């Protein structure tokens, strides 16, 4: 069998190829959910801006933690 023969089996990786998309989606969903929770709570309390910023920050931290837990093998 020649090295360039197309009948040779190709090497497959065990990891899915869309891992970066999944990691980005986890991070983005954490930020969006944190911002939503902070914005709603801020609107109810009367401090929309500060609680929105806090929610975005905590959502980013939560999304980052979710990515770290989900993709420990990277």
Task: List the chain domain ranges.
Answer: 26-70
Q: Residues 67, 23: contact at Cβ < 8 Å?
A: yes
pLDDT tens, 11-64? 666 767 788 899 999 999 999 999 999 999 999 999 999 999 999 999 999 999
Helices (H), the chain: 19-45, 48-70
Indicate whether 10 pLDDT > 80: no
pTM of the shown model: 0.75
CB proximity list for 37: less than 8 A, separation 6 or greater: 55, 59
């Amino acid at each position: 069998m020649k090295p360039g023969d197309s009948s040779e089996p190709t090497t497959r990786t065990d990891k899915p190829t869309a891992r970066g998309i999944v990691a980005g989606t986890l991070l983005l969903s954490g930020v969006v959910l944190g911002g939503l929770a902070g914005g709603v709570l801020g609107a109810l309390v009367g401090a929309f801006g500060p609680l929105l910023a806090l929610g975005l920050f905590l959502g980013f931290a939560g999304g980052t933690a979710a990515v770290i837990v989900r993709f420990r093998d990277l």
